[in-house]
Amino acid sequence: MGEPISIRFPLDGALKANRCFVIFRQIFGEGGRVEKEPIKLELEKVSGEGGEDVFALSFTLDDWGIYMYRFEAELEGGDIAFFGRGEGGEAKRWDWLPEWQLTVSKRAHKTPNWAKSGVTYQIFADRFCRVGESKFSKKGRLHTYWTDRPDIEDAFGTYRADDFFGGNIKGIISRLDYLKSLGVTLIYLTPIFKSPSNHRYDTSDYLTIDELFGTEEEFARLIKEAGDRGISIMLDGVFNHTGADSIYFNKFDNFESVGAYQSKQSPYYDWFTFRTYPYEYDCWWGSTVVPTVNKKAEGYRKLVLGEGGVIEKWTRMGVKGWRLDVVDELPIDFTTELCRKIKSEGEDTLIIGEVWEDASTKIAYDLWRPYFMGEQLDGVMNYPFKNAILQLAKGGSAAEFKEQITRILENYPRESLDVLMNLIGSHDTVRALTQLSGVTPPESKLARAEFTLSDDMYALARKRLMFAAAIQFTLPGVPCVYYGDEAGMQGFEDPLNRGAFPWGREDNVLLEHYKTLGKLRAKYADLLRGKTYFEDDPTLVVFRRESECGTFTVVANPTDVPVMRLISGRDAISGKPIQQKITVPPLGVRFIVK
């Protein structure tokens, strides 16, 4: 807010527009939803050459929040022409068209420069790699064979998340050179703190690393050895709920502490909300193993935000990023304090939120979330890009892809765009390869668990995945590879998307493709942080990244037929000059630099 904004609006000279106005209406701001009188500003006619009348205006907006805007023009003869947002962000003349969005932050916000290039790699901690003997003392079982599939249910038909493969810190350290070969610069670890489950989103103790995963000394070594290779570590912060089996709740009497479930005199009692003590309590989406925490509880805030607390301990150990689980479940004031605490421990610490929709206008529990107002998140898990990329790879139209991508580019602050976590799969989604096959999931759990793609289906899915990854690695933001996608892992929904990494059984075609893309991002890091412009093309997806260093152009063919296109420049991979019409094959992508 208060920063100069410039608008340039060209109109067809045949319209004979005498005056032109832009109309802003604020829809979100301080306090959430707002209803204020629209702001109508007149643009000045600055030129009238080449068949166009160009109107322009420089101005400021002094209230932070989300605005929508459109244009009106007074024509010769007294008619009023209305202009709104058409497909792909282009201006269209008609009544009641959609509007453009303008995001006005409360204050300027700088996101970490180190996080704006490279590749992020998500590791499901229990399933990536195991080195050494595992000291197993949990309920459930430790798989004897790394090649087993995850359990899908117990004898009673219930999934307990209590089967383990024993992936550990030593295993990750042993594979750091492998990750380096992929161009990885940031490892995003799913929860690593003490927990009874294999996913560890039901935290038992925020200040202790799970004994199956490793020790603090080993974690410190991971941070150092990864750092020596230019790789940072991001932790998963699960602050909306704890585990019922925890030192705080202690429902099953497995800890020496007096938990909230055991006594109203517990120091943790006010951390939770009981409806009928102790049996009925607020929990995340009705799952009683993860009771929801009262974020107003002084003791809880001290644990997370205070001296020697969760953020301070692990960030000072060398963690460079935090991914905030279900951030839209957290109260707004708690999120602000949490982000402030993280930044106080290091301004260049990256904060990524789990948001599945457009985060600039996210509504949760009837409240607008001010994620991009300069006081909270750096970026988010970019599920809108995921949806657009996978849809395109499965035969979606170039126009629809452009529309979905352009909306995010218009709505997000530039600093946030640069650090978006661009994923095409995660621990919460069906594996990208399985999605891209287009197969209909079998109805029974067992059939889904034992399903594998036929050779023909796999070949098609792999081709689509290579296409999708090429787009993922070149759009604004930072690509995030879900462990094993580069190796050809398959799987339907949780827990089948969380299998053990197939060491020694990787798809080398896919693997080499991902390594090439990683090298590409490293070689053209400056170009791939440039502004993004889409070109008009009825068939292909063509966009360029422009910076002071030059231009990086992506030409992608989402169709099932070859397409000819005139291209000039240098092939970004081979370095060879191109000054001719070339054929872009079906599901092919060409990278050109100038």
pLDDT in tens, 448-499: 999 999 999 999 999 999 999 999 999 999 999 999 999 999 999 999 999 9
- Residue 472 and residue 389 in contact, taking contact as beta carbons nearer than 8 Å: yes
Per-residue pLDDT of 324-364, as tens digits, reads 999 999 999 999 999 999 999 999 999 999 999 999 999 99
Structure tokens at 458: 């796999």
pLDDT for residue 47: 85
43-to-7, 40, 66, 96 alpha-carbon distances in Å: 8, 10, 21, 21
Residues paired with 568 in a beta bridge: 579
Could you tell me the CATH number of the domain that includes residue 29? 2.60.40.10
> Does some domain include residue 556?
yes
Question: CA–CA separation, 207 vs 318, rounded Å?
Answer: 15
Letter string b/e over residues 481-509, b meaning 16 or more CB atoms within 10 A of that residue's CB: bbbbbbbbbbbbebbbbbbbbebeebbee
Contact, 541 vs 563, CB < 8 A? no
Maximum average pLDDT range among 10-14, 328-332, 580-584:
328-332
Alpha carbons within 13 angstroms on the beta-carbon side of residue 96 total: 0
Sheet holding 379-380, edge to edge: 379-380, 350-353, 321-324, 232-237, 184-189, 119-123, 478-482, 421-423
The per-residue pLDDT for range 405-426, each reduced to its tens digit, is 999 999 999 999 999 999 999 9
pTM here is 0.97
pLDDT, residue 38, reads 96
Residue pair 454/433 in contact (Cβ under 8 Å)? The answer is no
Residue 382 belongs to some domain of the structure: no
Q: Is residue 26 part of a domain?
A: yes
- Whether 83 maps to a domain, the answer reads yes
Helix/strand/coil (H/E/C) assignment for every residue in 548-561: CCEEEEEEECCCCC
pLDDT at 535 over 90: yes
Radius of gyration of the chain (CA): 26
| Mean pLDDT within 64-72 | 97
Q: Are 338 and 304 in contact (CB under 8 A)?
A: yes
Total count of domains within the chain: 3
Please report the pLDDT score of residue 486 as a whole number: 98
Tokens representing residue 64 in the block: 């932070």
State the residue range of the domain holding 538.
529-593
Which of 52, 76, 104 marks a domain boundary? 104
581 or 368: which carries more pLDDT confidence? 368
CATH number of residue 554's parent domain: 2.60.40.1180
Among the three residues 52, 74, 104, which one is the final residue of a domain in this structure?
104
Residue 4 tokens read as: 């100069």
Residue 62 annotated to the active site: no
Among 124-128, 267-271, 352-356, 572-576, the range scoring the smallest mean pLDDT is 572-576
Say if 403 falls within a structural domain. Answer: no
DSSP character for 398? H
Q: Are strands 550-556 and 541-547 parallel, antiparallel or unpaired?
A: antiparallel
- How large is the average pLDDT for residues 155-178? 95
Per-residue pLDDT, 581: 87
CATH code, domain carrying 269:
3.90.400.10
User: Cβ(404)–Cβ(379) under 8 Å?
Assistant: no
Q: CB-based contacts of 106: which residues, under 8 Å, 6+ apart? A: 1, 64, 370, 373, 374, 375
- Quick one: pLDDT at residue 50? 78
Query: What's the confidence (pLDDT) of residue 155?
Result: 84
Mean per-residue pLDDT over the chain, rounded: 96
Residue 461 lies in a domain: no
- Per the listing, tokens 């200040």 go with 207
Answer whether 509's CB lies under 8 Å from 452's CB.
Answer: no
pLDDT of residue 580: 83
For residues 544 and 535, the answer to whether their CB atoms sit within 8 Å is yes
Active site residue 30: no
Tens digit of each residue's pLDDT (9 = 90 or more) over 187-228: 999 999 999 999 999 999 999 999 999 999 999 999 999 999
Is pLDDT at 48 greater than 80 in this prediction?
Answer: no
Catalytic residue among 163, 210, 245, 325: 325
Out of 53, 126, 337, 354, which one is annotated catalytic?
A: 354
DSSP assignment of 323-355 equals EETTGGGS-HHHHHHHHHHHHHT-TT-EEEE--
User: Is residue 440 predicted with pLDDT exceeding 80?
Assistant: yes
Contact 453, 432 (CB under 8 A): no
Q: Which residues pair with 593 in a beta bridge?
A: 552, 570
Q: Among 70, 88, 104, which residue terminates a domain?
A: 104
Q: Where are the alpha helices (DSSP H) in 57-203?
A: 169-174, 176-181
Question: Cα(282)–Cα(579) distance, rounded to whole angstroms?
Answer: 64
161 within domain boundaries:
no
- Strand, coil or helix: what is 414? helix
- Please state whether the peptide bond connecting residue 495 to the residue before it is cis, i.e. omega within 30 degrees of 0: yes
The answer on pLDDT for 169 being more than 80 is yes
Question: How far, in Å, CA of 6 to CA of 170, rounded?
Answer: 53
Q: Which of 342, 374, 351 lies closest to 109 in space, CA to CA? A: 374
pLDDT of residue 157: 86
3-state helix, strand, coil in the chain (%, to 5): 25, 30, 45
| pLDDT above 80: residue 153 | yes
Residue 323 lies in a domain: no
Residue 28 β-bridge partners = 33, 66
DSSP 281-317: E-BGGG-TTSBBB-TT-HHHHHHHHSTTSHHHHHHHH
Is the predicted pLDDT of residue 49 greater than 90, yes or no? no
In 36-179, at which residue ranges do the beta strands (DSSP E only) sit? 39-47, 52-59, 65-75, 80-85, 91-93, 100-104, 119-123, 141-142, 163-164
Residue 514 — pLDDT band, cuts 50, 70, 90?
very high
